[in-house]
Amino acid sequence: MNNDTHIPDRDDDISGYQKIDRYNHGLIEKLSANYLDVLKHIGENPEREGLLKTPERMAKAMLYLTHGYDLNATEILNSAMFKEDYSQMVIVKDIEVYSMCEHHMLPFFGKAHIAYIPNGYVVGLSKIPRVVDAFARRLQVQERLTNEIRDCIQQTLNPIGVGVVIECRHLCMSMRGVQKQNSVTTTSAFTGEFLKEKTRTEFLNLISSKLS
Ligand SMILES: Nc1nc2c(ncn2[C@@H]2O[C@H](COP(=O)(O)OP(=O)(O)OP(=O)(O)O)[C@@H](O)[C@H]2O)c(=O)[nH]1
Ligand SMILES: [Zn+2]
């Protein structure tokens, strides 16, 4: 592998909170060597023109798809918490989720809907999707992803309650295996006030509303 491998531009977007050290330890080269073997083992000819740069592309793609390991979700929230006297539910809904199941390393993707009731502090709105990404861009199961987002927001922001609903399609269930094309998996996790039916119902009604 040549030494002039550079980090693609898009990766600039994903740092900001922690330096991406993984790129600095020859990881692209190491992963590329492994992906070269993968190409051979699946019966391809890695020397043909279209595949010459594929191991390196795969390495960069995999590092991007797992960049959540380089992010610290607690720091992300801590970086933008503001004292604010607002005590109603705050909901950020329809947040795109892209993750990979830890069983097959195939994508699962869909939407997350996150709500919290402030307890003296609100958080910068963009930080909520950033927290979703920090946990989603790793090898995951949807249930753990859901709980990790809930726990991080609860422990860092200390709100009166947190609600998380995630709806995803799993490619390991559609393009292989049981081959169910239309099934969607929904998971949810709640704390505090959201454990009460009235609050939970308000949240669930608001995320199903098509108004916004
Ligand atoms: N609970 C949960 N299961 C998941 C998730 N992603 C993938 N799986 C499941 O992980 C399971 C792994 O089961 P195994 O029997 O070990 O693997 P497999 O032989 O490839 O299973 P099939 O997918 O049924 O062919 C499968 O049932 C997947 O559907 C997830 O996010 N949550
Ligand atoms: Zn899977």
CB atoms within 10 A of CB 179: 8
191-212 confidence digits (pLDDT tens): 999 999 999 999 999 999 875 4
Active site residue 143: no
Ligand 1 within 6 A of CB of 173? yes
> How many other CB atoms sit within 10 Å of the CB of residue 79?
14
pLDDT digits (tens, 9 = 90+) for 61-118: 999 999 999 999 999 999 999 999 999 999 999 999 999 999 999 999 999 999 999 9
Q: With 80 as the cut, is the pLDDT of residue 13 above it?
A: no
Whether residue 101 has its Cβ less than 6 Å from ligand 1? yes
Average pLDDT over residues 50-60: 96
Tell me the pLDDT tens digit for each residue of 141-178: 999 999 999 999 999 999 999 999 999 999 999 999 99
181 is catalytic: no
Residue 150, ligand 1, Cβ within 6 A:
no
Residue 16's pLDDT is 39
The token duo for 124 is: 């910068």
Which ligand minimizes its atom distance to the CA of 144? 1
Catalytic residue among 140, 142, 168, 193: 142
Min mean pLDDT across 7-21, 48-62, 97-111, 174-188 is at: 7-21
Supply φ then ψ for residue 184, to 5 degrees: -120, 135
DSSP 140-164: E-HHHHHHHHHHHHHHHH--SEEEE
Q: Is 170 in the pocket of ligand 1 (CB under 6 A)?
A: yes
**Does residue 1 register a pLDDT over 50?**
no
**Residues 163 and 190: beta-carbon distance below 8 Å:** yes
* ipTM of this predicted structure: 0.94
Position 44 pLDDT exceeds 60: yes
Out of 101, 140, 148, 193, the active site residue is 101
Give the domains, in start order, of the chain with CATH numbers.
9-69 (1.10.286.10), 81-208 (3.30.1130.10)
Positive or negative: CA dihedral 48, 49, 50, 52? positive
pLDDT at position 26, please? 86
Q: Is the pLDDT of residue 6 over 70?
A: no
Q: What residue's CA is closest to ligand 1, atom 31?
A: 141
